[in-house]
A and B are shown apart, each in its own frame.
Chain A
Amino acid sequence: MSQKRVALRSPAGNLKSVKKAIDAGADVVYIGLSLPNSNLRNYSGLNFTPDETKQAVKMCHDAGKEFYIVINSYPQQDEMELSFKSIDVAAQLGVDAVVVSDLAVMDYAKTNHPDLNLHCSVQTGSANVETIKFYQEQFGVRCVVLPRVLTVPEVRQICDTAPVDIEVFAMGSLCTSFPGRCNMSQYVTGESTNTRGICTSPKFLSFDEEGDELAVNLNGVKLNEFKSSELTPALDVCKEGHTGSEAVKLQNKDGWNNTFLVNKRHICKGRFFNTAKGKIDHSLHSSVILDVLPILPDLIDAGVSALKIEGRQRPSEYSGNSTRILRRALDRYYEDPTAYSVEDNWFKEVSDMFVGMAHSTGPYLGR
């Protein structure tokens, strides 16, 4: 078992989220940075300006918490200066770490800001101990965020031998792909997850009524179709416009006069005709969220140093609620590890944040 208590690292998409995460018990709050003409993480209204970042750093440090900036898109040729500028701004603002992916960005940070604490983003796809050693030896990274591709025994194997702290995802979206190696939506839209930081770009999505069904199309490719009875009415919290799901307003038709929540909009969560099975199904992925509450003791025992909550793009309520749920679980575990169990109301609270999504421990318990 690790000696130090596991840290809880929470996402924030705005200052309200930072406050809620701190109040709910986050040890670290992480954000994205927005500079003029920046395209480094491509959700509208998601990233912090330098002024907002300065305020957020102060809020965190005043509360005794740490503050990280994530700069983890892979810049293309004409974006290098902007990426380097982002590192400069992070260093000037006194953040506790930057979470990075690109070799050039890491090298720039190491060379120009040797005191800046570097963490490897999940986008590096560091899924084995030798890859982690590479980043530690080349750039002096101090922590690596493991991709959501590993089993608990594999996480333990890494924790036992890695020369850095290990952070794992604990809650939020669950990709089926290996980070940094997924271009499924780019194949259809032309916009890259790796270099543009966005999957299944909303600007290419359309929700079209076809008879008595709602079709979800991505740049003309039909990902899914629903009957009105299959749709979940959206909660107010989901109407902020930047949830992991899409709130779709449909009117002027019997049974459609409401705002609905469409979870299954990412391309991997679409339905396909599987030619080997001869039927339509979710051949790649289904609508699930990662929830490690049932295996929290296993991850702690494996030796992880930090738990990460996914979801900078989600509303501030999410930052607060997800942090509160995991904080309570961690505190309960440390009170008496042998008595830890997931209570029914915890499950419900998580379900309320992810309407219509099933809970999953992802690959942790087997692939």
Chain B
Amino acid sequence: MELTLSPVYSAWDKQRLKNFYIKGAANMDVSTVYVGEVICQKRALLSNQDYKDIVSALKKSGKTVYMASLALITNKDELERTLQFAHLFDGIEVNSFGVLNLIIKDESLKDKDIIFGPFMNIYNSVATGYIKKFNPARLVIPYEVPYDTIKGITQGADIPVEVNAWGHLSTALSWRCYTARTFELGREDCRKKCFDFPEGILLNTIDDEDLYIMNGIQVLSSKIHCIIEQLDMLKEANVPYLRITPAYHCTADVVNIYSGVVNGNIDKKEAVKMLDAYAEHGLSNGWFLGKPGWEYIAA
């Protein structure tokens, strides 16, 4: 099993993002790094040179580097801009069938890997079988898909799958920017308020229980999805890639713990205790086990 780093879903400033990849991710025990903006085009601050620097640093340390693309594209401008740096990368994670449609017709991208991202609504092995015609290098399983379905997909279709193993869950994308709405601003005039909240805005219930995190147009779970105790199930289902979602502070430590368990150097129960320290609002694994997403069921 190999570890991968998902795109950064939150709004980090340009320098922090560059440092994260060049000084951080390059030295982590991950085989693949996804770089690029998935949530909102307004957050895409990196230039062609920035991406070149990042890809160069990651390639030097032996990583496969994929570009992630927008999940919600509503106009021509976003369509045109989402692939403008694709030529720099080993492949492209598509999160919209529109982006897929552009790639399969673009001769200049014909040598690039295609990765079906977690926002592509692939829920069964027959649909997985259909997408084989696009020769995808990987399929990232949607967040809410339970283990039994993952197993069905891996048994029924010959595409390597990547499973979300750590991170806040994406529970919704919206036409509305919730961060802007918090400040009584519209999405078109958001003043890029997201950058003031690089870990998002916590929403508690009226009983003061943490529930969601608002991240611009995205709603995340407050709890952190963690399936470190279920790695044997994933091995049994022939899942080759485990995806870690970067967090503002602790990504290197989390990767080390997952790596330790994958390599047999850290006991799973011990790992859960260690990881729990990085989850301010607790861990969850409910969706993976076919339960409400916020539950954590110990192995």
Q: Which residues of A are at the interface with B, using a C-beta cutoff of 8 A?
A: 74-80, 101-104, 107-108, 123-135, 137, 147-151, 154, 157, 176-178, 180-184, 186-190, 192, 194-195, 219, 221-225, 268, 270-277, 280, 283-285, 362-363, 366-367
Cα–Cα, bound, A271→B211 (Å): 12
**Which of B24-32, B179-187, B232-240, B252-260 forms part of the interface with chain A?**
B179-187
The reply to whether the CB of B100 lies closer than 8 angstroms to some CB of chain A is yes
Q: Are A219 and B123 in contact (CB under 8 A)?
A: no
Q: Which listed residue (A107, A131, A187) contacts B171, Cβ 8 A? A: A187
- Identify A219's interface contact among B73, B176, B292, CB under 8 A: B292
Contact B123 A76 (CB under 8 A): yes
* Candidates A222, A276, A366; contact of B207 at CB < 8 Å: A222
- The digit string for B95-126, where 1 denotes a CB below 8 A from any CB of A, is 01111111000000000000000010111111
A124 to B153, CA, bound (A): 20
The 7 A-B residue pairs with the shortest CB-CB distance in the complex, in nearest-first order: A130-B98, A149-B175, A104-B126, A131-B98, A77-B152, A187-B293, A367-B187
19 A-B residue pairs with Cβ-Cβ distance under 8 Å, sorted by A, are A76-B149, A104-B130, A108-B126, A126-B97, A130-B101, A132-B98, A133-B98, A147-B175, A149-B74, A187-B212, A187-B287, A188-B294, A221-B209, A221-B211, A273-B203, A275-B203, A283-B214, A284-B203, A367-B187
Main secondary structure of the interface of A (DSSP, over half): mixed
Asked if residues A130 and B178 are in contact (CB atoms below 8 Å), the reply is no
B71 at interface, CB cutoff 8 A: yes
B residues apposed to A, CB below 8 Å: 71-76, 78-79, 96-102, 119, 121-127, 129-131, 143-144, 148-149, 152-153, 156, 169-178, 181-182, 186-188, 197, 201-209, 211-212, 214, 219, 221, 286-287, 290-294
Residues of B within 8 A of A182 (CB): 171-173
* B126 close to A80 (CB less than 8 A): yes
| Residues of chain A contacted by B143 (CB below 8 angstroms) | 183
Which residues of A sit under 8 angstroms from B207, Cβ to Cβ? 222
Contact B172 A184 (CB under 8 A): yes
Given A134-B97, A224-B206, A273-B208, list of 6 further CB < 8 A pairs? A104-B124, A128-B79, A148-B175, A187-B294, A275-B203, A276-B197
Q: How far apart are B279's CB and chain A's nearest CB, in angstroms?
A: 16
Verify B123–A75 contact, CB threshold 8 A.
yes
Partner of A283, one of B74, B119, B181: B181
* Closest B residue, CB atoms, query A284: B178
A188 vs chain B, min Cβ distance (A) = 6
**Chain B contact residues: helix, strand, loop or mixed:** mixed
Is there an interface contact between A77 and B125, defined as CB atoms closer than 8 Å? Answer: yes
B71: chain A residues at CB < 8 Å are 181
Distance in Å from the Cβ of B221 to the closest Cβ of chain A?
Answer: 6
Say whether B201 contacts A276, CB under 8 Å. Answer: yes
Cβ-defined contact, B293 with A127, below 8 A:
no
Contact B206 A274 (CB under 8 A): no
Residue from B123, B149, B205, B287 in contact with A222 in the complex, judged by beta carbons closer than 8 Å: B205
Q: How far is the CA of A270 from the CA of B170 in the complex (A)?
A: 18
Q: Which residues of B contact A183 (CB under 8 A)?
A: 143-144, 169-172, 293
Find chain B residues with CB under 8 A from A150 CB. Answer: 74, 175
CB pair A190–B172 under 8 Å, yes or no, is: no
Chain A: CB-nearest residue to B208: A273
Residue of A nearest to B184 (CB): A277
- Given A77-B125, A284-B219, A363-B176: A149 and B186 interface contact (C-beta under 8 Å): no
Centre residue among A123, A128, A129 by max chain B CB count within 10 A? A128
Closest to B125 in A: A77
Contact between chains at A367 and B75 (CB < 8 Å): no
Residue among B74, B79, B170, B178 having the largest count of chain A Cβ atoms under 10 Å: B74
Q: Is the CB of B188 within 8 A of A366?
A: yes
Contacting pair B186 A77 (CB below 8 A)? no
B203 touches A272 (CB 8 A): yes
Knowing A77-B148, A103-B130, A222-B205, the reply to whether A157 touches B172 (Cβ < 8 A) is no
